[in-house]
Amino acid sequence: MSTTQAAQLITPQGKILPLPPELYETILKLIEERKPAPQATRADVLTLIEETRGKYANGPSLIDALLAERTAEREREARRDQERAERFFK
């Protein structure tokens, strides 16, 4: 004799919620009917790039900000590595 297991919903917190069969069927239909998000074509992407080119030309340099952030990150990494080496090679 086989028994059927009731449908359950498990929340991100791990809580298990039993689902009535009608609700399970409704959710299943929604999932099956879900359409994938439309994908931008290469032409759409190139158009977007052209439309936004120079948008921030009069503002602060985003490249300079990125380089400064990376420099600071490398300095933090170097300090961390030095501290680890000092602890390891005491």
List, for residues 43-68, the tens digit of each pLDDT value.
999 999 889 888 878 888 888 999 99
pLDDT in tens, 4-33: 678 888 888 999 989 898 998 998 898 888
Beta bridge partners of 17: 9
Residue 3: per-residue pLDDT = 62
How many of the other CB atoms lie within 10 Å of CB of 19? 14
Beta bridge partners of 9: 17
Closest CA to 52 of 67, 62, 65, 39: 62
Model confidence pTM above 0.75: no
Both tokens assigned to 10: 């498990």
